[in-house]
Amino acid sequence: MEQVMVIALLLLVNNEIKEARLQPDLSSCLKGKRIANRNISDNVEYRCIKTKAELELMARENGVELDLRRKKADLVKQARDSFK
């Protein structure tokens, strides 16, 4: 597997990553963050990060689809480090 740089929009609840969504670029990520921040509670945070992810080629019924994946533990560690 190949590692590539990706932009991800993270949903953090009580400083724990609940969801990570890959974005095509930083502008799209920041736009999604602004929209999501309109209706959030105190213990919820959205954050855009640039990180390396493993690129996995997955076969699908209708052809080939690229699936970018990153281990949740690595994302959690990186998000926690960014709080420091």
The answer to whether residues 2 and 66 touch, using CB atoms and an 8 Å cutoff, is no
The answer to whether residues 23 and 65 touch, using CB atoms and an 8 Å cutoff, is no
Tens digits of residue pLDDT in 17-68 = 999 888 999 999 999 999 999 988 889 999 999 988 876 655 555 555 444 4
**Statement: residue 77 has pLDDT above 60:** yes
How many separate domains does the chain show?
A: 1
Q: CA–CA separation, 50 vs 47, rounded Å?
A: 10
pTM for the model stands at: 0.66
Q: Round to the nearest angstrom and report the end-to-end CA distance of the chain.
A: 31
Question: Containing domain of residue 23, as a range?
Answer: 2-83
